[in-house]
Copies of this chain bind each other. A is one copy, B any other.
Amino acid sequence: MNMLNYETLKTKDPQNLRQIIRDGQYDAHTAGLAKGYLQANIVILPRIYALDFMRFCQRNPKPCPLVAVSDTGDPYLTTAGHDIDIRTDIPIYNIYRDGVLDEERGDISPFWNDEMITFALGCSFTFEHALLKAGIDVWHISNNKTVPMYKTSLKTVPAGPFSGATVVSMRMIPENRVDEVHSICRQFPLAHGSPLHVGDPAEIGISDLAHPDWGDAVPSLPGHLPVFWACGVTPQAAIQNAKLPLCITHKPGHMLITNIPDDAEVPIIKA
């Protein structure tokens, strides 16, 4: 199988990209692909946990903005795009067993059964795209790094077995543009919405900005403040706490590319 490189994919539309991923021709991160379309964090789990997980999302809409939920046992995510087969359309999946990340795979067809349900949650690519359009530089993008992510002392609102810390991502923003960033991001409730915190990291339980729990550190920039957003890694932390026998997610950064426009008011594609 010939693998396609990232640059080749930049002009492809969502359906083409999913086909390429489905065919096993691309297995890397999806940042910057299919600009203008919503990308999504994915959680797949058995029906018996689904109602509690959906309540967890409803109670924690900033880290877990629900944009699609499949029918029970249906591998197609019909409201997020035409012909999305969730068993094959993500570059890399994480397989959690008993709350522990057990393996990575490019295809989860062997794990699918009549009891599985897929949840898709909005992601930060959407508001980052809007910030760039407003002329606000985002350091980790300009420098081709992964956004820094931190566990905080901010607790999620629990639901059934799901609970734990809110995970945040951090971007350095010029002090005189923080209010504008807030207004821009508030327009995207399906992509984590406005920041949770601005300024002192210690106030939300982060002891050292230079050592993120995931991703790459960002240098302090003169005239900038650290700004923190709820992050789509939060549900993965909740899944680890819940110790489900089996749960499947995307590998962070390797998202589902949907057909939902980035600026959609409602994340529903009608048949």
Contacts and interface: CB of A to CB of B under 8 A. Distances in A.
A270 B157 contact: yes
Which 3 residue pairs of A and B lie closest in terms of their CB atoms, listed nearest first?
A51-B51, A55-B69, A54-B54
21 contacts: A47-B51, A51-B54, A51-B72, A54-B54, A54-B55, A54-B58, A54-B69, A58-B66, A58-B68, A59-B69, A59-B268, A60-B268, A61-B267, A61-B268, A62-B266, A71-B159, A79-B157, A157-B270, A186-B265, A189-B189, A194-B265
B54 A193 contact: no
Interface residues on A, range: 20 to 34
A50 interface: yes
Interface string A42-60: 0000010011001100111
Contacts of A59: 69, 79, 268
Given A51-B54, A71-B159, 14 more contacts: A50-B51, A51-B51, A54-B55, A55-B69, A55-B71, A58-B66, A58-B68, A59-B79, A61-B266, A62-B266, A79-B157, A189-B265, A193-B265, A194-B265
Contacts of A68: 58
Contacts of A270: 157
Given A66-B58, A79-B157, A266 B51 contact: no
Contacts of A72: 51
Interface string A99-117: 0000000000000000000
Interface in A200-251: none
Nearest to A50: B51
A194 B264 CA distance: 12
A61 B68 CA distance: 11
A113 to B, nearest CB: 17
Contacts of A62: 266
A126 to B, nearest CB: 15
A85 to B, nearest CB: 19
A28 B267 CA distance: 36
A175 B189 CA distance: 29
A160 B117 CA distance: 14
A40 B268 CA distance: 23
